[in-house]
Amino acid sequence: MIIAAADGSALGNPGPAGWAWYVDDDCWAAGGWKHATNNQGELKAVLELFRATAHLDDDLLVLCDSQYVINSVTKWMRGWKAKGWRKGDGKPVMNLELLKELDVALAGRRYRFEWVKGHANHPLNEAADSRARAVAEAYQRGTAIPSGPGWTGAPNVSAPMPAGDADVNVDDGDESHVDVHVDVSGRAPVQPSLFSFDGEDVDGDDPDVAAELDGLHSITLALSADEHDRLVRRARATGVSVDELLRSLI
């Protein structure tokens, strides 16, 4: 599980404003605007945290001192969407663009929000708050923005096996899945005595069959478009090819 704090700050509210998310001193990011509100900073901090971790498949625990953000995500957003992004009184929802972007970023993610009291010496919350405020002050002074290193964590993936070839082919006629073909030439997999090959049960102990398969083994996976995107993002985040990432899981 990833545990991160997200916070916003606005001098004057509205005024020079900043946002920040924080995991540790080596993994954080911040940004802001010349003129915005505190709520906009709070929403943007959470949004950028989800974007920064979009390539991961970990659960995400968001520590947040804004009841507005937590209630927007966990209680109000579904109703707002059903009403065409309008509140119960028919008035437009405030901060609409940020909320729409956050709604997209949340899709398919496993997450939980935990409210923490602001300015109460909670280490992660204080770290996020100080970085958000530093950005707001930088905009106020016209100095360089302390944006942070960004996401520096990486998925736990073992070292890749010897190189081979992987082809990722998208079927243009059906956007619901992606076929991933992996060539594992030269491997010596453990073969059960009976297994399925091209839809037929074959005897893995048959010398002719074993000889035919010994030089080339292929696997075809049907992935949804979302699964494919996550696979590609994880490979890029790890600094390896899709081929190497898949092989590392064998």
- Provide the annotated active-site residues: 7-8, 42, 65, 119, 129
Q: 95-99: list long-range contacts, CB under 8 Å, 24+ apart.
A: 95/37, 95/39, 95/40, 95/43, 98/40, 98/43, 98/44, 98/47, 99/43, 99/72
* Residue positions counted in the chain: 250
Angle between helix 38-52 and helix 123-141 axes, rounded to 10 deg: 120
For residue 62, what are its two tokens? 């968001």
- Cβ-contact 65, 7 below 8 angstroms: yes
Q: Is 123 left (phi over 0), alpha (psi -120 to 50) or beta?
A: alpha
Give the Cα-Cα-Cα angle 174, 177, 180 (nearest 5 degrees): 120
Q: CA 65 to CA 70: how far, in whole Å?
A: 9
One-letter amino acid for residue 216 of the chain: L
Biggest CA-to-CA distance, the chain: 79
- Cβ-contact 111, 1 below 8 angstroms: no
